[in-house]
Amino acid sequence: MKLKTLIGSLTLATLLTGGTAVAQNIEPVPPHETGEIPSRDGEMVRVPLSKVLKDSAREDIEQAPVEGFLPELPILVDGVKYTAKQIQEKDIHLSHYVLDARSAEQAVVQGFRTTADVTKYFNQTGQFPSEQPTGAELGPCNPWSVFFEHSWYGGANFSVYPGWGYNTLGWWNDRISSMWSTQCGRWTVMTEHHYFGGHQLWVARAWAVGNMGSYGWYTGWWPFRRWHSWNDRVSSVAVYW
């Protein structure tokens, strides 16, 4: 995690709460007119759903882990709320982490053990992602998902149109610290490794993540069994209708 990002995030949290830092939740994407902003050296490609709808392995190959990191928001798994520490102690490995309207309402991150579990949730809530427009898009709206170098939407940025993504991010690898999800599509998905490998963070239509460092994934890898922050850890991105 960048020191300037950490300091800025804690400062803003403190100001917003009158001196007490609290766990960050997602927020609505603000009105914006962002259009196509290419990545510096990556190639935007079509990303079939089969590339992202897959389980993640128990592994821990991230460099320079932040020892002792624990996300502050509870994680909702199978209708039960757990703290990050409890997920660790009970060794509950999750492939997919979801942030949507239900997550915001309950101030949680929703966790799903398998792809079968998360696809069931997508179907039950009418949010199953599509590679092509479904005819149910909201309008007028901005279709682009936007990814930022710094927390709270600062620094350089690039955008991705629904149905497209980046297998590899080049200069942007491990540099994303905040993002706006598409307002017209259904989902933005960010993954731990190149070519959509590893754990996944799904952010629903019209939600923004001001501080990726507020969220993380549990590795489930013995003997460490630690959490990693999503800040500066994303290596692939895709957006869906």
pLDDT at 134: 85
Q: Would you say how long the chain is, in residues?
A: 241
Strand order in the sheet with 109-112: 44-46, 164-166, 236-240, 187-193, 197-204, 96-99, 109-112, 75-77, 80-82
Is the pTM above the cut of 0.85?
A: yes
pLDDT tens-place values along the chain, 241 residues long: 343 333 344 333 333 333 333 456 899 999 999 999 999 888 999 999 999 999 999 998 888 888 899 999 999 999 999 999 999 999 999 999 999 999 999 999 999 999 999 999 999 999 999 999 988 766 789 999 999 999 999 999 999 999 999 999 999 999 999 999 999 999 999 999 999 999 999 999 999 999 999 999 999 998 888 999 999 999 999 999 9
Which domain CATH number covers 223?
A: 2.60.20.10
Number of domains forming the structure of the chain: 1
Residues ≥6 apart with Cβ < 8 Å to 239: 145, 160, 161, 162, 163, 164, 165, 181, 182, 185, 187, 188, 189
Domain that holds residue 16: 3-240
Can you tell me which residue has the tokens 């939407």?
A: 153
pLDDT at 23: 56
Q: Which two tokens stand for residue 145?
A: 């998902």
Question: Do the beta carbons of residue 109 and residue 125 sit within 8 Å?
Answer: no
CA dihedral 119, 204, 74, 92 (to 10 degrees): 30
- What is the Cα–Cα distance from 223 to 60, expressed in whole angstroms? 10
DSSP one-letter code for 172: G
Cα dist from 200 to 50, 53, 89, 97, whole Å: 14, 9, 21, 6
- What is the Cα–Cα distance from 133 to 129, expressed in whole angstroms? 10
- Three-state secondary structure readout of 181-229: CCCCCCEEEEEEEHHHEEEEEEEECCEEECCHHHCEEECCCCCCCCEEE
pLDDT at 140: 84
Strands 216-218 and 227-229: antiparallel
pLDDT at 223: 84
pLDDT at 143: 96
At position 229, the amino acid (one-letter code) is S
pLDDT digits (tens, 9 = 90+) for 28-79: 999 999 999 999 888 999 999 999 999 999 998 888 888 899 999 999 999 9
